[in-house]
């Protein structure tokens, strides 16, 4: 199983030009120029309210930009949003698997909405369940799953239609270390085995360092720096850590940014993951 190929194989999986989003007088994303190469795990870092989630919402067509443009998989997010949606998978910061359905039913819902043919559905669902290690729990209600299982189910839903690009908004928030490492392993598999490009937002410096090929650090809606984790650490001098990099480029370790709603959603997700 390989990820779907996009129309004219552009140079970058994701590219934006002066992409901007304003909410009233607040500029959440400010003239962002982002280039994400194919088959990389690309991390977006930044303090709460830096614009990471807003950027992902625009790239996944959930939120129209105020100005600027962006292409995802070679498709314009404004002119061809349906094509963009056909070629991406998305795991939201929130816990979006339906607890009142079984794992299989959640996957079947995605398979039908993504237009998989009836014959394909069974095979793809079985493969996705096996890949995520959820085959034995497929018939159980998702509300009985552990936090790590829910996240793996959401990844299974997002990869079911073999998207070229996966968007993950803080996918390991609220997970214990073991569950977190299992999610990382699956993401590496998605990159290496299926050739998927992954754009991930995170607050976890270990995740950024070990998982991501490249990082962009946002501050106040702008990209402050882009580079490989090792380069970013080296750039600040010997013995510098990702925490130092974050503190340097994201406006300080302790910040007071982030809306009440954002914090609430983050805590709700962490709480639901147990």
Partner 1 sequence: MKRFILESSTVAEVELIKLFRDPTELIARAIQPILWLLMFGQVLAQVRGIHTGHISYLAFITPGILAQSILFTGIFYGIAIIWERDLGIVQKLLVSPARRSSLVFGKAIAAGVRGIMQAIVIYLLALALQVSIRLEPLAIIGMLCSVMLGSGIFATFSLIIACIVKTRERFMGVGQLLTMPMFFASNAIYPLELMPNWLRVVALVNPLTYLIDALRGLVTTGGETIYGYSMDFAVLFGVFFVLLFVAVKLYPTLAE
Binding site for partner 1 (CB under 8 A): 57, 60-63, 82, 85-86, 88, 90, 92-96, 98, 100-101, 105, 109-110, 112-115, 157, 265, 268
DSSP assignments along 202-259, one per residue: -S-HHHHHHH-SEEEEEETTEEEEEE-HHHHHHHT-TT--HHHHHHHHTT-SS---S-
Shortest CB 94 distance to partner 1, Å = 3
Q: How far is CA 11 from CA 35, 84, 168, in A?
A: 9, 16, 22
Cβ proximity to partner 1, 160 vs 247, nearer residue: 160
Cβ proximity to partner 1, 18 vs 112, nearer residue: 112
SS3 225: strand
Sign of CA dihedral 143, 166, 83, 161: negative
Cβ proximity to partner 1, 161 vs 217, nearer residue: 161
Shortest CB 159 distance to partner 1, Å = 13
- HSE-CB at 81 with a 13 A cutoff on CA atoms is 10
Cβ proximity to partner 1, 100 vs 119, nearer residue: 100
Cβ proximity to partner 1, 109 vs 205, nearer residue: 109
Shortest CB 236 distance to partner 1, Å = 36
Say if residues 45 and 218 touch (Cβ distance below 8 Å): yes
Shortest CB 246 distance to partner 1, Å = 26
Shortest CB 252 distance to partner 1, Å = 29
């Amino acid at each position: 199983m390989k990820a779907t190929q996009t129309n004219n194989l552009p140079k970058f999986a994701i590219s934006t030009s002066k992409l901007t989003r304003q909410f009233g007088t607040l500029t959440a994303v400010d003239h962002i120029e982002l280039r994400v190469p194919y088959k990389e795990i690309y991390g977006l870092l930044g303090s709460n309210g830096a614009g990471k989630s807003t950027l992902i919402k625009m790239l996944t067509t959930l939120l129209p930009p105020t100005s600027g443009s962006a292409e995802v998989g070679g498709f314009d997010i404004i002119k061809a949003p349906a094509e963009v949606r056909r070629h991406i998978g998305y795991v939201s910061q929130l816990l979006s698997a339906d607890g009142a359905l079984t794992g299989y039913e959640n996957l079947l819902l995605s398979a039908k909405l993504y237009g998989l043919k009836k014959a394909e559905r069974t095979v793809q669902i079985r493969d996705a369940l096996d890949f995520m290690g959820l085959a034995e729990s497929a018939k159980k209600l998702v509300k009985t799953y552990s936090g790590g299982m829910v996240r793996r189910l959401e990844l299974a839903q997002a990869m079911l239609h073999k998207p070229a690009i996966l968007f993950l908004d803080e996918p390991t928030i609220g997970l214990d270390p073991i569950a977190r490492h299992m999610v990382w392993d699956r993401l590496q598999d998605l990159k290496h085995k299926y050739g998927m490009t992954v754009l991930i937002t995170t607050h976890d410096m270990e995740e950024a360092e070990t998982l991501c090929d490249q990082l962009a650090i946002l501050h106040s809606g702008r990209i402050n720096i882009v580079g490989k984790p090792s380069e970013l650490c080296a750039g600040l001098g010997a013995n510098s850590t990702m925490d130092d990099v974050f503190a340097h480029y994201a406006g300080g370790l302790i910040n007071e940014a982030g809306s009440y709603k954002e914090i609430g959603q983050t805590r709700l997700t962490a709480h639901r993951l147990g």
